[in-house]
Amino acid sequence: MVLLEMSVVPVGVGESLSPYVARCIDIVDRSGLDYELHSMGTIVEGELSQVLAIMQQCIEEVAKSAGRVSCSAKIDYRKGASGSLKAKVASVERKLGRQVKQ
């Protein structure tokens, strides 16, 4: 399993990006994979081929309305691990002895 953190941004479409984010989140949500949306991107958990396919779909969707698209991505590949989306935060909270803001 992997965690993919991605941010897909259209270039030259103005300041408001939420319509493009919404279109990408629709793709991610329909995939059925676990994900978290945050203010600077989205984290998706799944098999490598699945998350890369989702990122490609998001890029292609945004490209329908923008001549240029910028994408930032980070991947955490760990054999045999699943549930990392929540487990990583829980591990830090255990070490702190308290919950953190999310």
CA count, 13 A, side-chain hemisphere, 5: 8
- What range does the domain containing 63 cover? 2-96
Domain count, the chain: 1
Is 70 strand, coil or helix?
strand
Residue 102 forms part of a structural domain: no
What is the CATH number for 69? 3.30.70.930
- Is residue 101 situated within a structural domain? no
Per-residue pLDDT of the chain (102 residues), as tens digits, is 999 999 999 999 999 999 999 999 999 999 999 999 999 999 999 999 999 999 999 999 999 999 999 999 999 998 877 777 778 788 888 888 888 887
pLDDT of 62: 98
The pTM assigned to this predicted structure is: 0.86
Residue 74 lies in a domain: yes
The per-residue pLDDT for 9 is 96
Per-residue pLDDT at 80 = 77
Contact 2, 81 (CB under 8 A): no
